Amino acid sequence: MPTRMYRISGVKSRTRRCAYCKQKVSTEDAKINGLRAFCSTDHALAWLNTEKGQNTLQKARNKKTKAAREKLKTKSDYAKEAQTAFNAYIRLRDDDKPCISCGRYHQGQYHAGHYRTTAAAPQIRFNTYNVHKQCSVCNNHKSGNIVEYRINLIARIGQDRLEELENNQASRPYSIEYLQRLKRIFQKKVRIIKKIREKC
- Average of pLDDT values for 180-199? 96
Render pLDDT for 93-131 as a digit per residue (tens, 0 to 9).
999 999 999 999 988 899 999 999 999 999 999 999 999
Residue 85 near residue 190 (C-beta atoms within 8 A): yes
**For position 13, what pLDDT does the model report?**
58
Q: What pLDDT does residue 59 have?
A: 84
Note the pTM of the prediction, 2 decimals: 0.68
User: Where is mean pLDDT largest: 1-15, 37-51, 57-71, 127-141?
Assistant: 127-141
Whole-number Cα distances in Å, 197 to 4, 31, 35: 47, 51, 48
Which phi and psi (to 5°) does residue 125 adopt?
-65, -25
Mean pLDDT over each residue of the chain, to the nearest integer: 86
* Distance of alpha carbon 100 from alpha carbon 46, whole angstroms: 60
What is the predicted pLDDT for the residue at 17?
Answer: 83
pLDDT given at position 63: 78
Cα-only R_g, the chain: 28
With cut-offs at 50, 70 and 90, classify the pLDDT of residue 50: confident
Instruction: Report, as an integer, the average pLDDT of 118-145.
Output: 95
The domain spans of the chain are 5-72, 75-199
Mean pLDDT of 16-40: 70
